[in-house]
Structure 1
Amino acid sequence: MIQTWNERAHAALKGKTGMLLAWSFACALIVEVGAVIDPTLYGTEMGTSFEKGFVLLISGILSFMLYPVIIGYYWVLLETVREKDIQFTDLFLPMRRRYDKHVAATILLTVLQLLWTLLFLVPGIVKYFSYAFTYFILHDEPELSVRAAITKSRALTRGLKWDAFKLILPVVPVYLIGLTLFFRFDSVLFAALSLLIATALIRPLVVSRFAVMYEDARREYDEQWKSIREPDVAAAHVIQSS
């Protein structure tokens, strides 16, 4: 199954890898635009702790406000796996459709992920895979609330977390290199750039593989749900006819 998912993701990206990589870097730069106002990136020190905290707060708020473009990237990769036409402007669909909902999804997922990671590292990793389908679900079922989408993602990924880990394992070293450089660089600017580049490089591979997994998990889930519902519907018809 892992090999099949890899092959399908690779086939979906064929001929589009360069474009999707460029879009991934564009998304990363858009989301990190808030960091531009942080003078510590350029070796400049702020006067007081309050000023430092204020700048950090504004930077974080801007990142959260712009993060729906990453959700748009998830949607673009899902459409790519489904062999549909995509455009750069599709990245901004979550900003044009229920923007407040998608910002809320970003904040809630970040908080949940952070809390689980602070508890222990392993539960944090497990929850990362549990929430992996949330943005895809928000695309396919926009009527669902954010909490309902997260709950459904947990249901769809049940029993698949180890497979999901093995699926993205080949690209993990790239992220670890970026993370190592992040902690090794004395310059805040170069540290931030190293992690940004690593994340942008692996994003198309990770998201496309998750999209392929989601398609299969969603199909299996719907079939199971249908098999449960059909006897109930048949029984209801019998009761009504009698």
Structure 2
Amino acid sequence: MNRADLKQRAKAQLGGSIFGSVWLYAVLVFFINALIQLVGGQIPLLGRVVGLLLTGPLSYGIAKMLLKQSRDGQAMNVAEMFDGFKDDFGGNFLLHLLMSIFIALWSLLLVVPGIIKALGWSMAYYIKVEHPEYTWKQCLDASTALTNGHKGDLFVLHLSFIGWYFVGSLCLGVGTLWVMPYHQATLTQCYHWLKSQQYSTYRPGGAV
């Protein structure tokens, strides 16, 4: 996995300019998502419930937008980030809920197993977008198969953005909104790369 190449592709996906229209539309999408999560988190107890209901569908919507945008290069349509509420809301909700529960349980064994599971399941929403008929378990199984042998690469890829987030945080935190699309677009390019390496067709319950 060539991190520099994936990042270069991500920049190209976002139009190549951090103040270009494509990148700015992506910033708007992540700002709205962060705002929704922030507002929900300010409400005791109810905020947790709201967060559980919203996170899965929003994550699906953003993954769908990034996949589409990685193929056509057009600016994101902000309204499409809410597609997860009409495209199998229950399935998207369960995917987030059960993935979060299982990662938390694995983390109880020590932090490392939780991180490994999180990395292994990090492509689940992209898979859900491309295979809407899959159940939550099939999405997790497919993501595990897809990332097999590449979890270390994924971990280092995530770590490579720490410096970017640090610099972004120096601008009153606003700069991180420009890093988020770059980070997620890079993961989208990573998804395409992983598929090209070992994930031609997945059969639920079967092997890759």
TM range (shorter): 0.7 to 0.9
1:6–1:167 Cα contact (<8 Å) kept: no
Q: Name 2:6's counterpart in structure 1.
A: 5
Aligned counterpart in structure 1 of residue 61 of structure 2, from 72, 75, 85: 72
Does 2:90 correspond to 1:100?
A: yes
Q: Structure 2: 5+ residue runs without aligned partners?
A: 203-208
Q: Name 2:33's counterpart in structure 1.
A: 27
The Cα RMSD (Å) is: 2.6
Q: So what's the TM-score if we normalise by structure 2?
A: 0.81
Cα 1:26/1:114, change in 2 over 3 Å: same
What is the number of residues matched between the two proteins?
192
User: Could you tell me how far 1:201 is from its partner in structure 2?
Assistant: 5.0
Aligned pairs for 1:1-242 within 5 A: 1-14=2-15, 15=20, 16-37=22-43, 55-56=44-45, 58-67=46-55, 68-85=57-74, 86-173=76-163, 200=177, 202-223=179-200
Cα 1:198/1:61, change in 2 over 3 Å: farther
User: 2: CA distance between counterparts of 1:99 and 1:110?
Assistant: 17
User: Could you tell me how far 1:173 is from its partner in structure 2?
Assistant: 4.3
Q: Name 1:48's counterpart in structure 2.
A: none
Higher mean alpha-carbon deviation, 95-104 vs 7-16, is at 7-16
Q: Which has the larger share of helix?
A: 1
- Cα distance per residue 1:23-57 (max 9 Å; x no partner): 101111113332343xxxxxxxxxxxxxxxxx32x
Cα 1:122/1:80, change in 2 over 3 Å: same
Q: So what's the TM-score if we normalise by structure 1?
A: 0.70
User: 2: CA distance between counterparts of 1:157 and 1:212?
Assistant: 14
- Cα distance per residue 1:180-233 (max 9 Å; x no partner): xxxxxxxxxxxxx97xx68755431222111111112123334487xxxxxxxx
Percent pairwise identity:
26
- Cα distance per residue 1:83-131 (max 9 Å; x no partner): 2543111101111111111111110111122122222122222222111
User: Who wins on radius of gyration, i.e. which is larger?
Assistant: 1
User: 1: CA distance between counterparts of 2:13 and 2:113?
Assistant: 31
